[in-house]
Structure 1
């Protein structure tokens, strides 16, 4: 079976020998699609990657023994024509380099393009367009919301990555939807660190600075936490978290930089190492469709503080059994939740132990990837459920 993955894919994370071929820069903020491709490759499947890059003017094709990478140009201001030119380029690539089935991730241009072919398509819904529009009421998000509606109406097979997202779908959409949650890659289990060996810092990992991510309250809470724990450092990782980014600009303007290190984007390995060594992961986001960073912290042995009403977060954290939940709109509540962990190592150890056992039992690569493969074969109506090598 040859599987197509149409999505933003950080190509540098693929476990593939490209034999010196130069990879175009692609969207690199979300590793989950690359992790899925790697897992499918490890199980013997051929893969065709359909993705985009804003650094190229013409399509780029890179072929290896078991992977074909098709990269379309990402044109400026794509929302003005509903991503029409990008979708057309993707459709041409999908037809010229076809797969037996395409799994398109997110319900926007990649999925719309895949649905424009005659190939079997599974659309994986990874966010809720209307919720994001409410947090970011700008024309671009209106376009995305409209595209999402078109995709969900056209798609015959859907998956969502959480029960939270499933409940936000219409009854009609739910009837054609399978819940396949996110997974963590096996390799990060090797980074597990017990609480006694943690270093004296807390960490947040976010891509973007805005109302939904709510970094401001994390910065405000940390300054209160420092009064009791003056040696504690706060590391901010991710897009817009660098030394000149929006988070720093806000912190500088409001005199919130003391004890804060603005690290910006880091590699996946560096990010896992930073989370593993932290005394706690603070996640102040007001909404998450799943919460990959939280899952990774659970596997790595790092206690989590996150929002009690933040989308899928309370479900992922067992409604407080696997992390400390709080009102992330309250700086004082964030402070109290963090200090509950920092002041009690016995509690922190118990929390991380239960979180690790739950995460490794429920979100392993083997079980989740097998669910994807089962879905692909169901769509293709294959009789054999053995991997094709």
Structure 2
């Protein structure tokens, strides 16, 4: 059998990419990615619930809630909803996703666009952003759903237009027809972080789909220039970028407040932490510590060891998903492979951004640590992705045995 990267990653293969593929293929022979994925996910979610319980008690008390573990119980409820949603996705026969793939994808894309429009029109404004659509007791952050749907869109396009993409990356401009309306409504929310994750996922998927690396220069310049202009167009974005320049402790009470508190939390934790429940920064020092900055509280209470444990579990989850993607790729099930791979990139990107911002390596963004930070929409959508990934792992050998690989 030819090397998968020679068949699907373009005519002139990338040596570094080949080495990565070989390494991951080697790992899949030594462990079961399905079992590893589920076990790592359970460990991470249990750790998340423990840390949310610790980090959210001061915030719940400050807000006057009678139940100090309010956010723990809410997150536990989101876990239950997410598991049920994942089971639902898993139970849907995989042929329904791809039997008439264009109509299915068009329906998903149109639904997301309608939800984004409704979010802007009647959505709930929180902390200056209109990102949440109220659905009774549950607030839906449509951006989370949009990221998942755009992976389906990109995977389908990369397969249908594979020859064009390999010959010239600029033929992928048609994808902008799908992306621009979604990106527009995300920017006006505003949700610049989700746009960055979505753009990065698009570029990686197109590259893996066979686009030649040298053709990325011009699009990369355009993308970076656009992001730069968008970053300095708003005062709050300029402040976040400036907080990375120079000494963050020069403006402790101003633009660097969150970053400084996060760095202090990491500094207090050192190697083994101050002990579970003993964080000082969560005591109204670090705003809403159970959400985007939960990793910093983990660093304070459980130390460097605790942070490494969380990031290691995230890495294992990403690698397990990529291993399942590569198994589908070996069987020439391209749509399945690219979709699963896209989900892995989304999770990896959010891990990097969240960890980077809490450690002062990246500007602060409203992105959660996947499967770890408090947040219903993020957790439910991520678990739905996992449901689809496990469905692919289950059905891929059956599809191969039936010789129906070209349909998936």
Q: TM-score range by the shorter chain?
A: under 0.3
More helix per residue: 1 or 2?
A: 2
More strand per residue: 1 or 2?
A: 1
Normalised TM-score (structure 2): 0.24
Higher relative contact order (CA 8 A, sep 6+): 2
Normalised TM-score (structure 1): 0.25
